[in-house]
């Protein structure tokens, strides 16, 4: 079937289309109603059906591939490398599930997971899925204040964590950050389960903290059956940044997600049972949920979980070839990474790409940020396999725009992530009138018309109103989902993504909210006002840059005092939110550019930082404010 026909069917006959896709997974009771869109923008997929993500990811494969690899865990940080077969994974997951159950975790309870990239993190996610508990994974790079707001919102019964993560040989102790986060949160989890890697000492809180090894030993051979869940039950929440400082819990279902992932593994990633999938993301991000843990396993593939830098060998010596060494060793067929990582590798000797036998590899998928042409060409020439850009979001759970080579081979275009995937009605609308822009290369907001396909977020955790108001009411007069990305479509239907319409920035593929960073900075006693913007960066895509009006004007004329305060502000952000949110620079100014009604002109600041025209400034209160920023940065008017 041509992709055009496949796509058309998904839009014109969604029930028939998705009923067919639903056969890719196991159901305990098959769905009664494929699609229920009686309450837009809410959508229910596969109502009446019961299933379980862990069953589909693990148990289902025992009959045919119990002794085949399921999870390959490699850490160049600790020099460990271990393969778990499906049978072993089944055992590990049940042990954790039994431990969680002993701590009182059952269906619908939240379990917050704050862990490094160790196999136990995947066991815990799958154990939650098995019990019908809702997991909330928080990226290990976040620090105590970010973690606290997530604990507060998720109100977990249990937190699962570890003593430490490690990055480039630098140990990051998690336990003190977790303790501080629990102290800051008004919600206190009943229990904390801690995996001890022997990297950092841990003080245990009596009655609350349990060391995983002795605790789980009691459940060594536990048998915990999968809890059958309604397709529309909640599988997990994952927090993501938006326009406000308060992160949103993106909530996903069980059945729709399982079907969406199974379908994407077949039609988009073309991954086959018995093969190995390698995603270099982290379980703390949506890519890690969909394409480290659930997607590959549902497809019966082994998933390779890697802890370490892309440029560091097993012995922790610099080795820009580690990924390719792993591809060769584990015969990886499908690989998934981010443009940032490739830009890091690009600095290495290109001969490294030729050193290993990469003939098993069929494609490299890149997502998370715009893929620039030089990076795409470099890796494409080096690997000699298709480089497939794919555009999506935490909210969607799987690709919105890409090419579906599993359906029909479709050429990619440099600079474009591709065309709409089956199930997605993607449109470009005029920012203020909401008019659809049908012409080629007309710039507007990329939106999705309902019903959203399976796998798409159900709502914002505990806040239906926020879900509707944030995502579905931003375009005047129309109930459409806004991606908050600018885009254009060329004459052949290929889309191009031109950056966010809101205050979200993308640092090395990590989605961050500038408002959260601003809130952290404005908490500093010496800060009167602050604006944070994302500025283009050759390696990281974007970096955060802060413009601060200090309380003490003296800082403005005193280079040394300014430098000291810059250091303090940077440290505060790193301590509260995590190193990834730390601004690359903090500049001090007398006044920030605002409109006469007092709205910060972030887009104008960003334009000036990038040497672009700031556009229409008729509403600016004080034009000297932008001039001052230009002078600071040494950019021409
Ligand atoms: O701005 C878009 C950018 O990343 C945002 C979503 O980030 P996140 O929720 O972390 O999900 C990442 C899932 C891969 C989008 O709104 N983005 C993502 N992929 C691309 C992209 N921008 C350009 N090209 C892409 N391929």
Residue 393 Cβ < 6 Å to ligand 1:
yes
Residue 416 Cβ < 6 Å to ligand 1:
no
As beta bridge partners, residue 196 has none
Q: Are 267 and 295 in contact (CB under 8 A)?
A: no
Residue 248 Cβ < 6 Å to ligand 1:
no
User: What is the band of 562 on the pLDDT scale with cuts at 50, 70, 90?
Assistant: very high
User: Cα(393) to centroid of ligand 1, in Å?
Assistant: 5
The rounded mean pLDDT for the chain is 95
What would the pLDDT profile of 395-419 be if each residue is shown by its tens digit?
999 999 999 999 999 999 989 999 9
Q: Are 245 and 275 in contact (CB under 8 A)?
A: no
* Whether pLDDT at 287 is above 90: yes
What would the pLDDT profile of 162-171 be if each residue is shown by its tens digit?
999 999 999 9
Which of 80-94, 339-353, 565-579 is the least confident region?
A: 339-353
pLDDT of amino acid 463: 97
List Cβ neighbours of 258 (8 Å cut-off, separation of 6 or more).
Answer: 25, 51, 53, 56, 294, 298
Domains, the chain, with CATH or none: 90-222 (3.40.50.980), 426-500 (2.30.38.10), 504-633 (3.30.300.30)
Residue 388 Cβ < 6 Å to ligand 1:
no
Q: CA 166, 170, 175, 177: dihedral to nearest 10 degrees?
A: -110
User: Cα(248) to centroid of ligand 1, in Å?
Assistant: 16
Segments in 185-245 forming alpha helices (H)? 212-217
Q: Report the nearest-CA residue for atom 5 of ligand 1.
A: 393
What would the pLDDT profile of 30-59 be if each residue is shown by its tens digit?
999 999 999 999 999 999 999 999 999 999
User: Cα(394) to centroid of ligand 1, in Å?
Assistant: 8
User: Cα(480) to centroid of ligand 1, in Å?
Assistant: 19
User: Cα(509) to centroid of ligand 1, in Å?
Assistant: 8
* Whether pLDDT at 636 is above 80: no
Q: Report the nearest-CA residue for atom 21 of ligand 1.
A: 369
Segments in 53-174 forming alpha helices (H)? 53-57, 62-65, 86-102, 119-131, 144-154
Distance CA 18, CA 399 (A): 16
Place of tokens 């977990």: 156
Residue 506 Cβ < 6 Å to ligand 1:
yes
For range 107-120, the mean pLDDT: 98
Q: Look at strands 110-114 and 158-162 and give their pairing.
A: parallel
User: What is the band of 602 on the pLDDT scale with cuts at 50, 70, 90?
Assistant: very high
Phi, psi of 149 (to 5 degrees): -65, -30
pLDDT of amino acid 476: 85
Q: Are 528 and 551 in contact (CB under 8 A)?
A: yes
Residue 512 Cβ < 6 Å to ligand 1:
no
Tell which atom from ligand 1 comes closest to the C-alpha of 399.
14
Preceding amide of 113 cis, omega within 30: no
Residue 390 Cβ < 6 Å to ligand 1:
yes
Phi, psi of 270 (to 5 degrees): 55, 45
pLDDT of amino acid 128: 99
pLDDT of amino acid 634: 85
For range 77-104, the mean pLDDT: 98
Residue 286 Cβ < 6 Å to ligand 1:
yes
pLDDT of amino acid 247: 86
Tell if the pTM clears 0.75, that is, is over it.
yes
* Whether pLDDT at 359 is above 90: yes
Tell which atom from ligand 1 comes closest to the C-alpha of 510.
10
* Whether pLDDT at 461 is above 90: yes
User: Cα(167) to centroid of ligand 1, in Å?
Assistant: 24
What would the pLDDT profile of 199-236 be if each residue is shown by its tens digit?
999 999 999 999 999 999 999 999 999 999 999 999 99
């Amino acid at each position: 079937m041509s992709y055009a026909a496949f796509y058309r069917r998904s839009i014109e006959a969604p029930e028939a289309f998705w009923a067919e896709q639903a056969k890719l997974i196991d159901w305990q009771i098959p769905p009664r109603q494929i699609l229920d869109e009686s309450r837009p923008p809410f959508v229910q997929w596969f109502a009446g059906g019961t299933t379980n993500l862990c069953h589909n990811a693990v148990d289902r494969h025992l009959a045919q591939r119990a002794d085949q690899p399921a999870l390959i865990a490699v850490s160049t940080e600790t020099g460990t490398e271990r393969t778990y077969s499906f049978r072993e994974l089944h055992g590990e997951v049940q042990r954790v599930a039994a431990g969680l159950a002993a701590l009182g975790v059952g269906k619908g309870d939240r379990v917050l997971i704050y862990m490094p990239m160790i196999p136990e993190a995947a066991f815990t996610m799958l154990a939650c899925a098995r019990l019908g508990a809702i997991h909330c994974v928080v990226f290990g790079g976040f620090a105590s204040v970010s973690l606290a707001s997530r604990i507060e919102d998720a109100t977990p019964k249990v937190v699962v964590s570890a003593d430490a993560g490690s990055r480039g040989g630098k140990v990051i102790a998690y336990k003190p950050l977790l303790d501080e986060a629990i102290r800051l949160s008004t919600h206190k989890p009943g229990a904390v389960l801690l995996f001890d890697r022997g990297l950092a000492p841990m003080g245990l809180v009596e009655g609350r903290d349990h060391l995983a090894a002795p605790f789980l030993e009691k459940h060594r051979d536990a048998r915990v059956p999968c809890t059958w869940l309604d397709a529309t039950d909640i599988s997990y929440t994952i927090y993501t940044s938006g326009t406000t400082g308060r992160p949103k819990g993106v909530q996903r279902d069980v059945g729709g997600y399982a079907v969406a992932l199974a379908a994407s593994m077949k039609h988009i990633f073309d991954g086959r049972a018995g093969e190995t999938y390698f995603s270099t993301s982290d379980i703390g991000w949506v890519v890690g949920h969909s394409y480290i843990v659930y997607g590959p396993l549902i497809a019966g593939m082994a998933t390779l979980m890697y802890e370490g830098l892309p440029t560091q060998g097993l012995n922790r010596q610099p080795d820009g070839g580690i990924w390719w060494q792993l591809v060769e060793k584990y015969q990886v067929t499908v690989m998934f990474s981010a443009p940032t990582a490739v830009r890091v590798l690009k600095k290495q000797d290109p001969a490294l790409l030729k050193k290993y036998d990469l003939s098993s590899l069929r494609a490299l998928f890149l997502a998370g940020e715009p893929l620039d042409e030089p990076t795409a060409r470099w890796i494409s020439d080096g690997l000699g396999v298709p480089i497939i850009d794919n555009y999506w979001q935490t909210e969607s759970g799987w690709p919105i725009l890409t090419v579906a080579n599993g359906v029909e081979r479709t050429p990619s275009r440099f600079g474009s992530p591709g065309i709409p995937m089956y199930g997605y009605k993607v449109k470009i609308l005029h920012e203020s009138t909401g008019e659809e822009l049908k012409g080629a290369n007309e710039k507007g907001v990329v939106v999705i018309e309902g019903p959203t396909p399976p796998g798409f977020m159900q709502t914002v955790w505990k806040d239906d109103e926020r879900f509707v108001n944030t995502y579905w009411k931003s375009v005047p007069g129309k109930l459409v989902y806004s991606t908050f990305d600018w885009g254009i479509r060329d004459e052949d239907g290929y889309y191009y993504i031109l950056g966010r319409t809101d205050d979200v920035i993308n640092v090395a593929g990590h989605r961050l909210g500038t408002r959260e960073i601003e809130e952290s900075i404005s908490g500093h006693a010496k800060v009167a006002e602050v604006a944070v913007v994302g500025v283009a960066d050759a390696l990281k895509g974007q970096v955060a840059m802060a413009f601060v009006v200090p309380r003490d004007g003296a800082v403005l004329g005193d280079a040394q005092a300014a430098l000291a305060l810059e250091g303090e502000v940077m440290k505060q952000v790193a301590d509260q939110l995590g190193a990834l949110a730390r601004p690359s620079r903090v500049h001090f100014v007398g006044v920030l550019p605002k409109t006469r009604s007092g709205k910060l002109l972030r887009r104008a600041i960003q334009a000036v930082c990038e040497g672009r025209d700031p556009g229409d400034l008729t509403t600016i209160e004080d034009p000297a404010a932008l001039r001052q920023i230009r002078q600071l940065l040494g950019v021409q008017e």
